[in-house]
Amino acid sequence: MAPESASRQRIVKSTAVLLVDCPDAKGIVAAISTFLYSHGANILHADQHQDNEAGLFFMRVEFDLADFALDAENFAREFQPIAHRFRMRWRFQDTGKLARVAIFVSRYQHCLVDLLHRHQIGELRCDIATIISNHQDAQALAEFYKVPFHHVSVEGGRKQEAEGAQIDWLERSAVDLVVLARYMQILSPAFVARYPLRIINVHHSFLPAFSGAKPYHAAFERGVKLIGATSHYVTDELDAGPIIEQDVARISHRDQVEQLIEKGRDLEKAVLSRAVRWHLEHRILFYGTKTVVFD
Amino acid sequence: MAPESASRQRIVKSTAVLLVDCPDAKGIVAAISTFLYSHGANILHADQHQDNEAGLFFMRVEFDLADFALDAENFAREFQPIAHRFRMRWRFQDTGKLARVAIFVSRYQHCLVDLLHRHQIGELRCDIATIISNHQDAQALAEFYKVPFHHVSVEGGRKQEAEGAQIDWLERSAVDLVVLARYMQILSPAFVARYPLRIINVHHSFLPAFSGAKPYHAAFERGVKLIGATSHYVTDELDAGPIIEQDVARISHRDQVEQLIEKGRDLEKAVLSRAVRWHLEHRILFYGTKTVVFD
Amino acid sequence: MAPESASRQRIVKSTAVLLVDCPDAKGIVAAISTFLYSHGANILHADQHQDNEAGLFFMRVEFDLADFALDAENFAREFQPIAHRFRMRWRFQDTGKLARVAIFVSRYQHCLVDLLHRHQIGELRCDIATIISNHQDAQALAEFYKVPFHHVSVEGGRKQEAEGAQIDWLERSAVDLVVLARYMQILSPAFVARYPLRIINVHHSFLPAFSGAKPYHAAFERGVKLIGATSHYVTDELDAGPIIEQDVARISHRDQVEQLIEKGRDLEKAVLSRAVRWHLEHRILFYGTKTVVFD
Amino acid sequence: MAPESASRQRIVKSTAVLLVDCPDAKGIVAAISTFLYSHGANILHADQHQDNEAGLFFMRVEFDLADFALDAENFAREFQPIAHRFRMRWRFQDTGKLARVAIFVSRYQHCLVDLLHRHQIGELRCDIATIISNHQDAQALAEFYKVPFHHVSVEGGRKQEAEGAQIDWLERSAVDLVVLARYMQILSPAFVARYPLRIINVHHSFLPAFSGAKPYHAAFERGVKLIGATSHYVTDELDAGPIIEQDVARISHRDQVEQLIEKGRDLEKAVLSRAVRWHLEHRILFYGTKTVVFD
C-alpha cells in the first residue's frame, strides 16, 4: 500500500549501439574508443569480453548520438579501416529505429499476454507488427492491444502451404524478428533460413535435458527436483540453437504433471521476455553455437 | 516449438477442506482421521505441522465429497465433540463454493494483468467480483475481461468518503477477499477491521527491510545486491501483517532505480499471485503474526 | 560482528521414525494414527503424500519413544495386521541407532571436507566409519577428523580386485551407507547390488543433461546459462538412479570451463550433503525410479 | 562417478590490474586504452561502468605483464597526466603480489573451514597470515592448515587491551586484509580506522533487515519466508558498511530457529568467501556507501 509517485516522464535519448566481434589482438579497444571519441561520441555503456582460450574479442558500446558526427552511412565508411585491420564483424544500430516483431502463438496465451503487456508499459522497445496463429483463440487479445491478427491454419499435410502464407504475411509486414511464444509447430528449414538468428523460441525444459515433445511429462517421469525453461534462437536442428536464457523452479513429489505445467508457465514467460528484450536492445552476440549476452 | 496436445479436460472433483489449529496433544490426528474415515471421506491431500516449542498443532485435509456423509451443517454438529475436546479452531470449506474477490489497483497494472490472465486459464479458482481503482486506467482491461469496474476517486481530504463508497460497493458485491494489486493508498484501520485477514497486499521490498514509501529507491541508496517483494495480510500496522510469500532477484551496480522497478514488477506478480492462490485454496493458517502455508 | 550466545545444549530426544508406502485406500491414516496413539506415541512430525493418479500412499511419522509402549520387535508384531490389511511396505527406525557411513573419494576433497565438518558440528547424525580412496590425498584429513582411512588402488585391469578389497573393508566396518563424494570410478553392478539404494552419488550436472564424463566441459560447449549438480542413488545404469536433490547456479559468457568447475563445487557440496542428511533422517521413500523426500 | 582427468597444471600468468574511478567524461576509455596499448599491454579482461545519473565512471582492466614496458613505479609516473586530466582515483595492482590475510573467528568454525579449504585448492589467491580468535576451538584446525594461530581473550572490560594485542599481532604479521569469519565481537572505531575498507564481515541476515544481535531469532519471530546473509566492509556504524554480496534461502513454517541457523551457515560461507575472493582479485570499487563488483 506504500504510495509512490507516478512514473516520471522517460526522456529517451537518441543513441546507437555498436556491436563488434573479431579475433583478439592488442589495440582493439584503443582503436574503437579513439575512433568514437574523435567523432564526438558520448559513451553511455560499454562492455567487452575476451575469450582468451579461443582468442576472440566481443564488444558492445552504446553512445549518445547528440554530438556524434556520423550517420549510419558515414559510420560505415569511416569505420571500415579499423574493421578491416582487426577483421571485425560489426553492426551499427540506431536504437531509435524500432524493430518490427511478429509473435507466433498457438493455444496457450500466457507468453503472449506477458509480451503484450511488457510492450505496452515500455519494457520491450519495438513495434509489434503482427500476431500469427494457427488458432483463433488469440484474436480478441490481439484486438485489445490493437495488433493485426493473422490466422493461418496448419492442418495435416498443408504445412508447406501454411508456411508460404506466413512468410508472405511476414514480408508484407516488414518483420525483423519472429518470436515463437509457445507456437506448437515445428518450422521447416526453409522457413528458418529466411530469418537466420532472428527467430526466438521458448522451450519448456532446461535444455539440453528433455528436448522434443512433452518435456514436462518427461521431467515428471524422470523425477527431477527442478524444472526449467529455455529461450533460444531457432536453427535447423530442433531445440539445438544458441541458448539465450534459462531459468528453473523447484518442484517436489507433491507436484503432478499439471503443477509442472503451471509452474513452468512462469519460467517460460520469464526466459522468453528476457530473450526478446536483450535481442531488441542489441545485447546478444554469437560465437559458434553459443551466445554472449551483455547485461 | 515442441508440439503438445491441448490441455485435457480438467474434471474438478467436488471436495472439501478442513483446517484445524489447536494446542498440541496426543491423539489429534487419530481423532480427526478416524472421524473422517467413519463418515466416508476419501482423503486426497493431508498435511500437518507441529510446533513443538510453542506446543501448537496445525492441519489441512482435503477430501472427496463424493462418498462423504455430512454436509456443512451436519459436519459442524458431528465434529463439535472433537473440536471441543482438543480446543480447536477449525473451518470446513466446500471448495465448490468460489470466493468472491475484489481487486484494488491504482495506475500500475502489471499485477492486475497477471491476476486476470491467471484467473482466465484456471489458476485462480474464484469469482473476480469487481475491480476498484482510484484511476480510470484499468477500465479497458476490466471490460476486456468482463469484470465490473468501479472508479472511486481518493482526492486529498476525501479518503473517509472514498472508503465509505468502496465498502458500500464491496458489500453490494458480496466480496470475500480484497486483493491490493499495487493499490497506492493506505487503508484506514476501520476499513481493515471490516476484512480481518481477508486483505492481501503486495509490498515491493523484502520486508521487514524497506517498509513504507519508495522501497526501490531506498534499496538503491543502500546498495543491496538483491531486491525483493512480499505479499502479506493487511493489518493496522503498515507493512507489518503476516507474511505469506517473498521472493528476490539479483541486481548489480549496472541497475539504476528504473531497472530495480522493472525487475521488481516480476517479483510483485509472482508473490501476489501465489498468495492469492494459496488463500483461495485454503492453504494458509495463522499463528500469532505468522503464517503456515501448506503446499 | 553481532554477538550471539553459544549454541544451547541440544537435548536429543529418543525418537523413532515410521516409514510407510502402500496402495492408496480409505482409512490408512486413521489406522496408523490410532495404532500409534493407542500405544502411547507422542507424534513430533508427520507428513504424508498421496499420488492420486498412481493410487499410492506414502507416510513418514516421527514420534517420541519416551511413553511409547513397543520396542522394535513388538512393534513389528503388533503393526503386522495393519501392514497386511493395506499391503504396506514399512520400516521402523530407532533414530538413536546411528547409521555407519563410508565415504569414497578420489582426488577432489571439497565434498569430503564439507561432509566431515557438517558431521563434526552435528548436522549429519551418523558414524563415519571409514574413508576409502584410490588416492592418498585424503589421508591427512581423515586423520585430522580421526576417521579410519583405507587406500585401495584401482589401477587398470585391477578393478574387480579393488572392489573385492573395498567390499571386504565395508563389511568389516559394518557400513550401512556408501557416499561417493566425487569418487571418480564407476562401480560394477555386483558392487551396486550389495548396497541397493544405499549408495549415494553426486554427479556434476543437472541430470539428465550431461550424464557421463566431463559434464562441465559439455555444458560449456553447449552454452547453457545455468550449471547444475545432482545427488542420486546409484543403480546399474550410469547416472540414472533415483534423484534425491538438484541445484543450479547461473553462469555467463565470462565463465570458462575452469569457472564452471569452481562454481560447480559449491553445488556439489550442497546437493550431496542434503541427500546424505535426508537419507540419515529417514526422509526418503521411493516410487519406481523416483523419490519422495519429506521435509 | 563420472571420471574426470586430474586438474590440468594451472599456468598463472604474470598480470596486473588497473582500477580507476573518476567523474564521467568523454575520452576516458580512449585515453586509458591508448596508454596501455602504447606500452605494450595485452588486455585480458576489461570491464567498465558508467553511472549516468551520478556522472561517475568506473573501470577495471587486467592485462598481461609479459610485454608490458612499465613497472609499478614507472606506471605511476607515466599515468599521472591522464589521472590528473580526468581527476581519477586509481590503483595499479601487481596480481603476483599476494595479499596477507588475517581471519578472525570465535566459536563457529564453518566459515573458517570453508575459507581454509578454498585457499588450499587455489580459489583464494592470498597468504593466510594468521588466525586470531577469542577462543581456543580453532587452534587444531589452524595447525592442520599450518596457519599461525593467535589467541586473544576478550573478557569483559578488557576489550581495549585485547584490540591492542590484536593490532600489534596484525602489524607484526603485515596483514593487508582482515576477514571476520563469524567473529562475535564488535570492533571499536579505532580498530576499524586502522583498516579502512580492508575489514570484511559476514552478517547473518539480509541487511538492512535484522541488523544487530540474534538475526535468525528476529527473522523467525517476524515470520519471513526467506533468510539471508550479507558480506560487507566494516565501518564505524554497525552492519551499515558497503555491501559486497548477499544471498538468501527459502524457509517454511517447518523451520525452527535451529533450522534457520543451519540453513544460514551455508549462506554465510557463500557470501563471505565470494566477498573475500572478489576483494583479493581487485574486483571491488566504491561509490559512497556502495560497491561496484566487476565480475
ipTM of this complex prediction, to 2 decimal places: 0.93
Which grid coordinates are listed for C191?
A: 558392487
Instruction: Say if the Cβ atoms of C50 and B45 lie within 8 Å.
Output: yes
- Counting Cβ atoms within 10 Å, is residue B135 exposed (0-12), middle (13-18) or buried (19+)? middle
pLDDT at residue number D287: 84
For residue D82, pLDDT beyond 80? yes
Ranking A102-116, B247-261, C86-100, C153-167 by mean pLDDT, the lowest is C153-167
Count CB-CB contacts under 10 A for residue C160: 10
Q: What is the pLDDT of residue D155?
A: 81
Whole-number Cα distances in Å, D166 to D139, D170, D235:
16, 6, 18
Q: Which amino acid is at A214?
A: K
CA A108 to chain B, closest CA, distance in angstroms equals: 9
Cβ–Cβ gap A210/C208 under 8 Å: yes
Q: In the predicted model, what is the mean pLDDT of residues B168-176?
A: 97
Q: What is the pLDDT of residues A73-82, one digit of tens each?
A: 999 999 999 9
The yes-or-no verdict on residue B271 having pLDDT over 90 is yes
Q: State pLDDT tens for residues A127-142.
A: 999 999 999 999 999 9
**Mean pLDDT value of segment C53-64:** 94
Q: SS3 of A160, please?
A: helix
Would you say A17 and A62 are in contact if contact means Cβ atoms under 8 Å apart?
yes
Q: B132 near B104, Cβ under 8 Å?
A: yes
Which pLDDT belongs to residue B158? Answer: 85
Nearest neighbour of B37 by CB, restricted to C30, C42, C45:
C30
Cell numbers 521435509 label which residue?
C295
Pick the CATH number of B100-293 from 3.90.25.10, 3.40.50.170, 1.10.630.10, 3.40.50.620: 3.40.50.170
Q: Is 80 exceeded by the pLDDT of residue D142?
A: yes
Yes or no, beta carbons of A208 and C222 under 8 Å apart: yes
Contact A286, A292 (CB under 8 A): yes
Helix extents (H) in chain A: 28-38, 72-85, 110-120, 139-144, 159-172, 189-194, 215-222, 257-280
Question: Which pLDDT band, with edges at 50, 70 and 90, does C12 fall under?
Answer: low
pLDDT per residue as tens digits for the range A234-277: 999 988 999 999 999 999 999 999 999 999 999 999 999 999 99
**Chain C residues with CB inside 8 Å of B29's CB?**
29, 33, 37, 43, 46
D residues 42..71 contacting A (CB < 8 A): 42-48, 50, 52
How many angstroms separate the first and last alpha carbons of chain D? 32
3-class DSSP state of C281: coil
User: Which pLDDT value is given to residue D135?
Assistant: 96
Residue D19 in 3-state DSSP?
A: strand
Chain B hits for D219, Cβ within 8 Å = none
Could you state, in order of their start, the residue ranges of all structural domains in chain C?
A: 9-94, 100-293
On whether the CB atoms of residues B268 and B111 are closer than 8 A, the answer is yes
Tell me the sheet residues that pair with D248: D228
Q: Which residue of A has its CA nearest to C248?
A: A248
Chain B residues near residue C46 by CB distance under 8 angstroms:
29, 48, 50
Residues C255/C222, Cβ–Cβ less than 8 Å? no
Separation in Å, CA C248 to CA A242, B244, B252, C204, D262: 20, 25, 20, 10, 20
Verify whether the Cβ–Cβ distance D30 to A47 is below 8 Å: no
Is the backbone peptide bond immediately before D208 cis, with ω within 30 degrees of 0? yes
The residues, ordered by sequence, that sit 6+ positions from D223 with a Cβ below 8 Å of its Cβ are B242, B243, B289, B290, B291
Three-state SS at A24: coil
Q: List all residues of chain B from 174 to 213 with a beta carbon under 8 Å from chain D.
A: 206-210
Residue C131 has pLDDT above 90, yes or no: yes
Cross-chain residue pair C225–A243, CB shorter than 8 Å: yes
Closest CA to C133 of C112, C108, C104, C154: C104
Cβ(D130)–Cβ(D149) below 8 Å:
yes
CB D124 within 8 A of CB D198: no
The residues with which B43 forms a beta bridge, in sequence order, are B63
Strands D56-64 vs D89-94: parallel, antiparallel or unpaired: unpaired
Give tens-digit pLDDT for A181-206. 999 999 999 999 999 999 999 999 99
Q: Are strands B100-105 and D199-203 parallel, antiparallel or unpaired?
A: unpaired
Q: At residue C256, what is the residue type?
A: Q
Is any Cβ of chain C less than 8 angstroms from the Cβ of A260?
A: no
Catalytic residue check, B71:
no
* D281 vs C: CB within 8 A: no
Q: List chain B residues with CB under 8 Å of C33.
A: 29-30, 33-34
Residues C185, C134 contacting (CB under 8 angstroms) = yes
What are the grid coordinates assigned to D252, written together?
517454511
Distance CA D153, CA D137 (A): 12
Active centre residues of D (catalytic): 239
User: Cα torsion at D234, D240, D243, D248 (round to 10°)?
Assistant: 120
Give the residue among A179, D213, A250 at the shortest CA–CA distance from C247: A250
Beta bridge partners of residue B245, listed in sequence order: B231
Q: Which of A64, A93, A92, A63 is nearest to A78 (CA)?
A: A92
The answer to whether the CB of D270 falls within 8 A of the CB of D263 is no
C9-94: CATH number: 3.30.70.260
**Averaged over B194-210, what is the pLDDT?**
96
- Distance (Å, whole) CA D89 – CA D21: 5
Closest CA to A101 of A123, A119, A122, A121: A119
* Alpha-carbon gap, residue B32 to A184, rounded angstroms: 47
Residue A264 has φ and ψ, to the nearest 5°, of -65, -35
Kindly state the average pLDDT of the residues B59-86.
Answer: 95
Spatial strand order of the sheet with A226-233 comes to A149-151, A127-133, A100-105, A177-180, A199-203, A226-233, A243-250
Cβ neighbours, 10 Å, residue A218: 17
What's this model's pTM, rounded to 2 decimal places? 0.95
> How far, CA to CA in Å, does A25 sit from each of C31, D41, D61?
76, 11, 15
Beta bridge mates, C130: C102
Rounded Cα–Cα distance for residues A27 and A38 (Å):
16
Q: What is the mean pLDDT of residues D111-139?
A: 98
Q: What span, in angstroms and rounded, lies between the C-alpha atoms of C125 and C283? A: 13
